[in-house]
Amino acid sequence: MIDLSASSLEVAPLLLGAVLVHDSPQGSVAVRITEVEAYVGDGVDPGSHAFRGRTPRNASMYGPPGHLYTYFTYGMHVCANVVCSPEGEASAVLLRAGEVVAGVELARSRRPTSRADVDLARGPALLVRSLGIALDEDGADLSAPPFELRMPAAPLSAVTRTLRTGVSGPGGIAPFDWRFSVAGDPTVSPYKRHPKLPR
């Protein structure tokens, strides 16, 4: 059993292979996690929402471990994280990609532009859309309905570690190689550098 009260850096690679289930009035979808990124806060991690401390937006990052932290990004997408570390410490694992292993038809209906099932949850916003997770489920307990987080029986051995994708500034360079993925898995999203803003 994974100790979710540990740091997100410890928890992140151990979540690979875990299955997240979300029930809704439309049905149930389950995704096997294949790609994650670790984030911490309070002046440690410049790529984190909690780098400058607690705010109303990131409050769930400081909540009890094993709960959900959702946020809205780019004015259109919801992303989901697993909160880690003891309550009061900012630490979370962003769920970046996965394979839909149950409820494929429902996931397809939520992702009508997807060309193949391998792409249904290939990216953090697409994973959330396939699962049907809503922004207002921020803070939800992942061990209680409508969620279930099934941990892998053992840590995966074939794990790739790289820089986090799309993170701007110091948080997107060494030593923040805090992105973990299942080596060679086709559902892992491509690495993208954060675009440089015009001067």
Q: Which domains does the chain have, with CATH numbers?
A: 8-182 (3.10.300.10)
Q: What local confidence, expressed as pLDDT, does residue 194 receive?
A: 57
The predicted model scores a pTM of 0.93
Helix (H), strand (E), coil (C) string for the chain? CCCCCCCHHHHHHHHCCCEEEEEECCEEEEEEEEEEEEEECCCCCCCCCCCCCCCCCCHHHHCCCCEEEEEEECCCEEEEEEECCCCCCCEEEEEEEEEEEECHHHHHHHCCCCCCHHHCCECHHHHHHHHCCCHHHCCCECCCCCEEEECCCCCCCCEEEECCCCCCHHHHCCCCCCEEEECCCCCCCCCCCCCCCCC
Q: What local confidence, expressed as pLDDT, does residue 193 receive?
A: 66
- pLDDT band of 1, cuts 50, 70, 90: low
Percentage of the chain exceeding pLDDT 90: 80
